[in-house]
């Protein structure tokens, strides 16, 4: 259950949101108009979670917060808690609705969007960047991150011909691997953070997953195939 509250004073205008269900809840709070801070808390039972959530709500109401039933949860930026990491309740509702497999929150499996070091670092970088620039250009971000921040060469997918990929990999395998992982992590990251996906990044993300499978000398795995299907079926929108 999602509920939002606002508190207006002479010198401040704040918001506080809570999303509680099962055995955990998230809170998002800060100055109105800002992204704010996200926190996650877990409990042993669903009953205890509900009890503590309602206790927090009563506490906020005593401090002057009033419920905002028209709060727009969709047109917002969602960022994971630094202390907790990947979690559905700190992901955009469109992401949690469409990407239902548990591996989308996996922080270990190299195949998953954010499980590799590259994928995890990409998401962290995206979240930091969008705080500074809410109009971040996600489509161009993979190249910017790799070349500007990491000092490596970004190699876009220009062919999925196995022999051509093998030849290029003999010279630039690491750059290709980094480019592919960062590209599809950015595609999933854009959706996780904003609920949108640019058409160009959708296409590049799918190609990056396919090239990485060829680069590793494998057919598409079950996880990679599912990621491609889910990316292609997600409704694309503005960058």
DSSP codes joined into one string, 69-87: TT--SSSS----BTTTBS-
pLDDT digits (tens, 9 = 90+) for 175-190: 999 999 999 999 999 9
Same domain, 43 and 145: no
Residue 74 lies in a domain: no
Does 83 have pLDDT greater than 70?
Answer: yes
Scanning the structure block, which residue is given the tokens 């970088």?
Answer: 125
Q: Which domain holds residue 92?
A: 88-233
Q: Is 130 inside a domain boundary?
A: yes
| Rounded average pLDDT over 115-141 | 97
Residue where a domain terminates, one of 37, 67, 97: 67
| Judgement on whether residues 26 and 118 belong to the same structural domain of the protein | no
The CA angle 198-135-38, to the nearest 5 degrees, is: 100
- 12: confidence class by pLDDT, cuts 50, 70, 90: confident
- Domain membership flag for residue 75: no
User: Confidence band (pLDDT; 50, 70, 90) for 237?
Assistant: low
Looking at the structure, tell me whether residues 113 and 229 fall in a common domain: yes
> Is residue 140 assigned to a domain?
yes
**Rounded to an integer, what distance in angstroms lies between the CA atom of residue 133 and that of residue 104?**
25
| Model confidence, pTM | 0.96
**Same-domain status, 207 and 115:** yes
Question: What's the structural domain count of the chain?
Answer: 2
In terms of domains, do 94 and 132 share one? yes
Both 125 and 226 in a single domain? Answer: yes
108 and 18: one domain? no
Confidence of residue 10 (pLDDT cuts 50, 70, 90): confident
CATH of the domain at 34: 2.20.140.10
Average pLDDT over every residue of 15-33: 97
- pLDDT value of position 34: 95
């Amino acid at each position: 259950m999602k509920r939002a509250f606002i508190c207006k004073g002479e010198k401040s205008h704040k918001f506080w949101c809570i999303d509680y269900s099962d055995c955990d809840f998230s809170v998002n709070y800060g100055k109105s108009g800002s992204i704010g801070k996200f926190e996650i808390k877990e409990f042993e039972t669903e009953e205890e979670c509900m009890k503590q959530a309602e206790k927090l709500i009563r506490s906020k109401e005593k401090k002057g917060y009033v419920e905002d039933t028209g709060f727009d949860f969709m047109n917002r930026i969602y960022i994971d808690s630094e202390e907790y990491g990947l979690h559905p309740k700190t992901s955009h509702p469109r992401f949690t609705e469409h990407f239902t497999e548990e591996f989308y929150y996996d922080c270990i499996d190299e195949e998953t969007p954010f499980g590799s070091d590259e994928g995890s670092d990409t998401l962290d970088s995206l979240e930091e960047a969008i705080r500074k620039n809410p109009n971040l250009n996600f489509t161009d971000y993979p190249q910017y991150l790799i070349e500007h921040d990491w000092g490596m060469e970004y190699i876009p997918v220009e062919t999925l011909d196995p022999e051509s990929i093998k030849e290029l990999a003999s010279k630039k395998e690491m750059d290709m691997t980094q480019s592919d992982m960062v590209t599809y992590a950015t595609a999933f990251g854009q959706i996780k953070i904003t609920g949108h996906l640019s058409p160009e990044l959708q296409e590049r993300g799918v190609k990056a997953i396919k090239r990485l499978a060829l680069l590793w000398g494998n057919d598409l795995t079950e996880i990679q195939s599912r990621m491609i299907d889910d990316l292609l079926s997600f409704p694309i929108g503005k960058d």
